[in-house]
Structure 1
Amino acid sequence: MATEVILPKVDMDMTTGRISRWLVKDGATVAKGAVLFEIETDKAAMEIDAPADGTIRITAPETGVEIAVGEPVAWIFAEGEAPAEPSPAAAAAAPRTTGAADAPAEVTAVAGPAAPAQAEPATPAQAEPAVTARTGTRATPLARRLARESGLDLAAVAGSGPHGRVQRADIEAAVLAGATSAPPAASFRCVGRPDAAPAPTARLAAGLLNAVWLRQGAGVPVVMIHGFGSELSAWRPFLAEVPADRAVLALDLPAHGKSVTRDVAGFDDLVTQAEDTLTESGITSAHLVGHSLGGAVAAALAGGLRLEVQSLLLISPAGLGPEMSPFVENFARATEAAAVAGWLREVVHDPASLSDAFVRTVARTRADGTQALAQTRLASALFGGGVPSFSIRPALAQNACPTRIVFGLEDRVFPWRQVLGLPGSIALHLFQQTGHMPQVEQREAVGRILRQMLN
């Protein structure tokens, strides 16, 4: 059966998007993970990769036009299937082919402003990918990040992509070959041990959690950890509330996003995996922001010894008490569109705050059952019997860093009253007409709280 390629959400409140350029030709053979096209947003250019191997038929070849989130823009036909002949419009509009498979995160932010929509250049020379100003070398965003984290000089890596573009496979090959060089200057700094580069082979081969730098910047980085049933890309709309010069890293927790194949034995194991990932990313000091389950992980990280936490912002955190709704176990199992939509609307006070396009896109990602199976196992390990198997109260009682907790008074997942009885040094912010997602329903207000903590 052919695989549908849709225009994905890159912001929680995004309903439409624009393809700024196609990176493959209609009718080309593509490999799973190869970059297909770029989406243009107000903040960045996002690369979208192929969900399967096969022959691509582009159904939305035009660039710079508004397309509804969740709408199909192409189909990928497996070997042996009979794809339709490419349309003249698609053949004329499709640009260049990709080289060897390059597998960035599903949506990878390119540092800097969004690339403007433009017609595909006519000549091969004009179609060459832009040379990065920082390194002078053509490379995908993922390759640049992996090279930085591995301490590799991009200029010393031979690229196998179009026009010598360095790709993920090239970085991994260089790491495995033992290539070493002085780490390139980065636009963020790892506080505490800037000269302690993580072990390259461990970062690429140890199966750590997926982590993406949503933004490059200076100072102590902000680390964002999503809640149950979400993924790191859910933080992208909230980036507008973070100072523009601040580096931001986000994680995909086990059973979520690009970490969907990662299992956990329990809450301690979950925290350890997050801690290992931050360590291997070179982070020794950070401001932590966590929502729901991610809030519990952030609180536990603040109580550990490996990470110097400068501030802690917990949004509707789990683990403050035994009370919880059946949302976690029911959403974990949900694959049908109606069930996904129904449980998604349980996490907000006003269901209209979640667009139909967003709900439809989330339902598409869960339709094959992969996330449902992984998240059902995670729910059993962490919330067996409908009660959290962990408590973050001991960690918060010992925590010495500035801490603020945000709750919606209409939270139907974890009742806000469970926060009572914590140390008086922890500030509590309560919002009326707000459910389990204050960072969505009260984004600007929660953003102000975070900026106060970063000052």
Structure 2
Amino acid sequence: MAEAILVPQVGQDLTEAKVVELHVKLGDKVKKGDLVAVVESEKASFEVEAFSEGVVISLPWKVGDVATVLEPLMHVGAEGEVVAAAKTAVPDPVQTAVPQTVHTPATVPVSATPAPVPTPAPAPAPVEAAVSGGDRASPVARRMAADHGLSIGRIAGTGPRGAVVLRDVAAAVAAAPAGGALELRTLQSGQGTPVVFIHGFGADLSSWRPLVARIGLGSPMMALDLPGHGGSQGHGAADFAALVDAVGATLRSLHGGVHLVGHSLGAAVAAALTERGDLDVRSLTLIAPAGLGASVDGDFVDGFLSARSEGALAAWMRRLVSDPASLAPVLVRATLAARDEAGLVPAQTRVARGVFEGSTQLFNVAAALRAYRGPCSVIAGRDDAIVPLREIEAAVPAHVALHRLDRVGHLPQVEAADLVQTVIARTVRSAG
């Protein structure tokens, strides 16, 4: 016998919910516990599961429809079974003879054959009345907006009662510019060709300030935030090629040559910029560079992103160094404080998914490093637990100076700051 899966009531005083996902179609077989749909209202979203095994024999709603709560979302029964006509076609004697057609503010009609509703539907708001959703937004819409660095309060809502729903956020994401200049700041003024510092995954440009103060060069010292980080949090670039494009576009605005100093992911970006042909890279200093092998500590990436307390974050960040005592508590607290910025962790998660897959790096810059003929130094720690030294050694060509540091992990600029600043200054000066 056919059984109905009802539209859940996702709010105590709500009478309707929008169908935002359908995971089945007519004739599909389902079993108990299968996810069959997702519906949402201005207050919540809800995943609908099948509570019995069978075949989908009735599916009166489609994605985008506004369904009536506690009415059948679909029927599950035996193959070939037909839903009784009384359940779908014959109106209740106390109802009007012709069912009303309900429209959302975006004028999307519901199915032509829904089960009759117990009370007349309220008059829909006109399209012109759709306004910014403000606090009225479904949780799934809020999550998607945060993932893309968008303010939910600036998105026009077309859901029930003007709420911002998933479709509205998707449209805002599509309309938002993915490019734009990255955050680029001068950390120290000077004369001549600027030295530009590019941080690694999970950091930001402020992490370079202690090192810059010790280098002693008379050149301008600048640093930028990678997409998804710091002041570039809202930039839409996610995969490696897009990161390189974004950094290249920003540095071209300097209208001249640059010396590049990069750490980890930032080092890989710096190396990749040398083979584009549209940027005059005078020298390269690569610190614990990613992109020279396949391996990365995927557990660290996941743990770092999921940590929400100082204790948890410190536990993961200790993997970055050889001696845990060298990890200053202020560095952990600064990293944790930066996470108060709404959307930062989702933005970095988006970048992580674009450049890493589990414990694998999805990019390689070894060819770019082999082709580069300017002054180049690579600094790597023998105790690096994030990017293995053996893979860096195998990829660094003979014409590049490789400095292997004992008792140093993935942060040579922290654990061996004096040596690192000396190498940077020497490499920059060797470019003439």
TM-score w.r.t. the length of structure 1 is 0.53
1:304 alignment counterpart = 276
Q: Report the Cα distance in structure 1 between the residues aligned to 2:217 and 2:396, rounded to whole angstroms.
A: 33
Q: Report the Cα distance in structure 1 between the residues aligned to 2:399 and 2:418, rounded to whole angstroms.
A: 24
Deviation of the 1:342 alpha carbon: 1.1
SS in 2 for 1:317: coil
Is residue 382–residue 388 contact of structure 1 (8 Å, CA) maintained in 2?
yes
2:288 alignment counterpart = 316
| Residue 397 of structure 2, aligned match among 423, 443, 452 | 423
Deviation of the 1:365 alpha carbon: 2.2
Is residue 260–residue 283 contact of structure 2 (8 Å, CA) maintained in 1?
yes
Deviation of the 1:371 alpha carbon: 1.8
SS in 2 for 1:445: helix
Is residue 333–residue 375 contact of structure 1 (8 Å, CA) maintained in 2?
no
Deviation of the 1:319 alpha carbon: 0.8
Q: Report the Cα distance in structure 2 between the residues aligned to 1:355 and 1:406, rounded to whole angstroms.
A: 21
Deviation of the 1:254 alpha carbon: 0.8
- Give the unaligned 5+ runs of structure 2: 1-177
Residues 357 and 450 (structure 1 numbering): CA distance in 2 closer, same or farther, change over 3 Å? closer
Q: How does 1:370-381 map to 2 (within 5 A)?
A: 370-381=343-354
Q: Report the Cα distance in structure 2 between the residues aligned to 1:334 and 1:266, rounded to whole angstroms.
A: 23
| Residue 285 of structure 1, aligned match among 249, 257, 280 | 257
Is residue 217–residue 425 contact of structure 2 (8 Å, CA) maintained in 1?
no
Is residue 215–residue 421 contact of structure 2 (8 Å, CA) maintained in 1?
yes
SS in 2 for 1:359: helix
Q: What amino acid is aligned across from residue 429 of structure 1 in structure 2? A: H
| Residue 413 of structure 1, aligned match among 386, 406, 417 | 386
Give the number of equivalent residue pairs.
250
2:152 alignment counterpart = none
2:241 alignment counterpart = 268
Between the two proteins, what is the percent identity of the paired residues?
A: 41
1:210 alignment counterpart = 183
Is residue 302–residue 395 contact of structure 1 (8 Å, CA) maintained in 2?
yes
Q: How does 1:16-165 map to 2 (within 5 A)?
A: none
Deviation of the 1:265 alpha carbon: 4.1
Is residue 414–residue 436 contact of structure 1 (8 Å, CA) maintained in 2?
yes
Residues 128-169 of structure 1: per-residue CA shift (max 9 Å, x gap): xxxxxxxxxxxxxxxxxxxxxxxxxxxxxxxxxxxxxxxxxx
Q: What amino acid is aligned across from residue 273 of structure 1 in structure 2? A: A
Deviation of the 1:244 alpha carbon: 4.3
2:210 alignment counterpart = 237
Q: What amino acid is aligned across from residue 267 of structure 2 in structure 1? A: G
Residues 263 and 335 (structure 1 numbering): CA distance in 2 closer, same or farther, change over 3 Å? farther
Is residue 284–residue 306 contact of structure 1 (8 Å, CA) maintained in 2?
no
Larger Rg: 2
Residues 1:361 and 2:372 are matched in the alignment: no
Q: Report the Cα distance in structure 2 between the residues aligned to 1:453 and 1:268, rounded to whole angstroms.
A: 26
For the aligned residue pairs, the C-alpha RMSD in angstroms reads 1.7
Q: Report the Cα distance in structure 1 between the residues aligned to 2:181 and 2:267, rounded to whole angstroms.
A: 20
Q: Report the Cα distance in structure 1 between the residues aligned to 2:207 and 2:293, rounded to whole angstroms.
A: 26
Deviation of the 1:332 alpha carbon: 2.4
Residues 265-315 of structure 1: per-residue CA shift (max 9 Å, x gap): 4211100000111112x2421111000000000001122211111110000
Q: What amino acid is aligned across from residue 410 of structure 2 in structure 1? A: H
Q: Report the Cα distance in structure 2 between the residues aligned to 1:341 and 1:418, rounded to whole angstroms.
A: 27
- Give the unaligned 5+ runs of structure 1: 1-204
Deviation of the 1:216 alpha carbon: 1.3
Q: Report the Cα distance in structure 1 between the residues aligned to 2:310 and 2:241, rounded to whole angstroms.
A: 33
Q: Report the Cα distance in structure 1 between the residues aligned to 2:305 and 2:317, rounded to whole angstroms.
A: 11
SS in 1 for 2:259: strand
Residues 366 and 411 (structure 1 numbering): CA distance in 2 closer, same or farther, change over 3 Å? same
1:392 alignment counterpart = 365
Deviation of the 1:233 alpha carbon: 0.5
| Residue 441 of structure 1, aligned match among 403, 415, 421 | 415
2:428 alignment counterpart = 454
Q: Report the Cα distance in structure 2 between the residues aligned to 1:250 and 1:215, rounded to whole angstroms.
A: 10
Is residue 209–residue 252 contact of structure 1 (8 Å, CA) maintained in 2?
yes
Q: Report the Cα distance in structure 2 between the residues aligned to 1:324 and 1:240, rounded to whole angstroms.
A: 30
Is residue 329–residue 386 contact of structure 1 (8 Å, CA) maintained in 2?
no
SS in 1 for 2:358: helix
Residues 1:248 and 2:221 are matched in the alignment: yes
TM-score w.r.t. the length of structure 2 is 0.56
Q: Report the Cα distance in structure 2 between the residues aligned to 1:363 and 1:421, rounded to whole angstroms.
A: 34
SS in 1 for 2:322: coil
Deviation of the 1:449 alpha carbon: 0.9
Q: What amino acid is aligned across from residue 309 of structure 1 in structure 2? A: V
Q: How does 1:322-333 map to 2 (within 5 A)?
A: 322-326=294-298, 327-333=300-306
Residues 218 and 418 (structure 1 numbering): CA distance in 2 closer, same or farther, change over 3 Å? same
